């Protein structure tokens, strides 16, 4: 079983990414279940605006797309900016939009049968909204969202420290991340055992 963690931080490498740091706990918990886990830091690539799988002209989305197709489990990891998913996360959803039209010979979209979850970090507030927004998009694209397939970290109220700067709440966020990994693995295993039904006529 394979998982792909799509890190939607705004910060290019090698800057430290709070989002990557929290997502790494989910990655570890998936690996402990025998899942092969890869990561992509989207901001390091040239991902063109658009809603097709290949926007041509140096667009590096096709390589992410290939890795999405190869993964049974997707984790979208996003910071919260202005209370919402990052522009990089929204760019990812826009590019994934084309996956709804990519089907197998029976007309089943390529994402059907795959599962997804969300990791959120931020320095103030907004995690559940970021989770709802991203999960809402992923359900449209064809992913199944297991129960409590998310974890997050931020403190409130008002602007405060980043995840990497304050240990408070880490235990809760990591334990919640381990549960998330268990849920992703469980539902992915259940779905892997039977083919997704062809669409209603």
Q: Locate 102 and state its tokens.
A: 């990519």
Burial tier of 90 (Cβ tally within 10 Å: 0-12, 13-18, 19+): middle
Site for a second copy in 59-78 (CB under 8 A): none
Please tell me whether residue 85 binds a second copy under the rule CB under 8 A: yes
C-alpha 162/C-alpha 139 separation (Å) is 29
Please tell me whether residue 103 binds a second copy under the rule CB under 8 A: no
**What b/e string do you get for 109-148 counting C-beta neighbours within 10 Å, with b at 16 or more?**
bbbbbbbbbbbbbbbbbbbeebbebbbebbeebbbbbbee
Q: How far is the CB of 171 from a second copy (least distance, A)?
A: 9
Please tell me whether residue 162 binds a second copy under the rule CB under 8 A: no
Among 36, 87, 98, 162, binds a second copy (CB under 8 A): 87
Q: How far is the CB of 140 from a second copy (least distance, A)?
A: 6
Please tell me whether residue 37 binds a second copy under the rule CB under 8 A: no
Binding-site string for a second copy from residue 114 to residue 153, where x marks contact by CB under 8 A and - marks none:
----------xxxxxx-xxx-xxx-xxxxxxxxxxxx-xx
Asked if residue 188 lies in contact with residue 154, where contact means CB atoms within 8 angstroms, the answer is: no
Q: Which residues, in sequence order, are CB contacts of 58 under 8 Å at separation 6+?
A: 46, 48
Q: Please work out the total of residues on this chain that contact a second copy, with binding judged by CB under 8 A.
A: 78
Site for a second copy in 167-196 (CB under 8 A): 169, 172-173, 175-176, 178-179, 181-183, 186-187, 189-191, 193-194, 196
């Amino acid at each position: 079983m394979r998982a792909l963690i799509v890190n939607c931080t705004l910060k290019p490498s090698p800057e430290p990414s709070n989002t990557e740091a929290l997502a790494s706990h989910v990655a570890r918990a998936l690996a402990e279940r025998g899942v092969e886990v890869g990561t992509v830091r989207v901001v390091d690539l040239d991902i063109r605006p658009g809603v097709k799988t290949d926007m041509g002209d140096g667009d590096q989305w096709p390589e992410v797309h290939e890795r999405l197709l190869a993964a049974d489990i997707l984790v979208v990891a996003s910071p919260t900016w202005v209370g919402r998913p990052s522009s990089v996360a929204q760019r990812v959803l826009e590019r994934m939009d084309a996956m709804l039209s990519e089907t197998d010979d029976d007309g089943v979209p390529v994402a059907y049968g795959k599962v997804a979850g969300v990791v959120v970090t931020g320095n103030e507030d907004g995690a559940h909204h970021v989770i709802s927004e991203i999960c809402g998009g992923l359900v449209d694209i064809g992913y199944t969202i297991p129960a409590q397939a998310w974890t997050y970290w931020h403190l409130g109220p008002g602007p405060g420290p980043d995840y990497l700067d304050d240990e408070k709440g880490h235990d809760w966020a990591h334990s919640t991340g381990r549960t998330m990994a268990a849920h992703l693995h469980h539902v992915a295993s259940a779905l892997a055992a039977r083919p997704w039904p062809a669409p209603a006529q």
